[in-house]
Structure 1
């Protein structure tokens, strides 16, 4: 069992250090994707003709393998975490933009009319009325994007040990230590489950008026509308 947590020194991190690195490389791109998706989604809601081309572009970008992204980026960002995180942020858009658009469009017209009558401008109405009501759909999209991002971080092992826990997969082959591969797979899976549970808790906190058993009804629609994550083999 000691070998399970005995991380080779050339990885320059302990087991807990790899976990922290993995979370940073997996969650920061989702946060960046959300910041970019919020204004883009609002534009798509305001100008309906814009939604199909935006969705088309994000879908095409999602179809680009991460290795191809690395080849393009590595000349500019080098063998760094940024080279791994930029593609993950781009991939998150294909899930987050439709989730936000779907949630915002579900806000009843009478609610928007009431907010306008109370003097809410477009920005205030979007931030204080539409987004809170759309929270269940947005969190459902975040859950898909987060689990996908955490799994895809491991691909970074192909460019200078930037795959966090995924580096253990390469080390397992290099040192003939299969327990390192088991460590990588199990720890990554546990991190994904814990992050997903944290987002469920966040949804409950953001929408206390909703029954707990109905908060994720939108998620199947989000999943059907988007390509399925391809796991760490992209």
Structure 2
């Protein structure tokens, strides 16, 4: 049985029509699974977390170890020192210790399904395929002009192929533009952009990786 194909419009960096490209419907015309996509985003955000939160245990609180009053005869409850967790300013019980592990994972099949789902949602709603993203020189001004020409307005995720240093230098100072390497596109980044700009060559590499 022949593989189903999907035709996508291709433009150049001047916004002019540059023909069409056929891609696999199994990658770019997939019904999205909201739960799998949510899981992928949760994993992505969890793996960005750093274990910086830390509270002091009883033995880490600075201060004297002297008893606040004698054991008997005062009518008060007995107390060993002012570092007790029941005292204001005392140690914390079961608080974060700076060694928390927030790492999560998602199996490859589920992650692939999530990425294919969000890429499929971008078709016709922000996916812009250009014939080439190779730039003659590094120029932020020229790249801004190109983005306007291809109607990439708002948050834009640009997929960068290997060795495209001029593109990286041209785009890195544009506040509305994020860069992602072909092999490292995340579900979160695709969801978080209004436009996904990718070259013909790179969209084929993405297709091959997700088939």
User: TM-score, normalised to structure 2's length?
Assistant: 0.25
Question: Counting strand residues as a fraction of each chain, which structure ranks higher?
Answer: 2
TM-score, normalised by the number of residues in structure 1: 0.23
Largest Rg, 1 or 2 = 2
Which one has a larger percent helix, Structure 1 or Structure 2?
A: 1
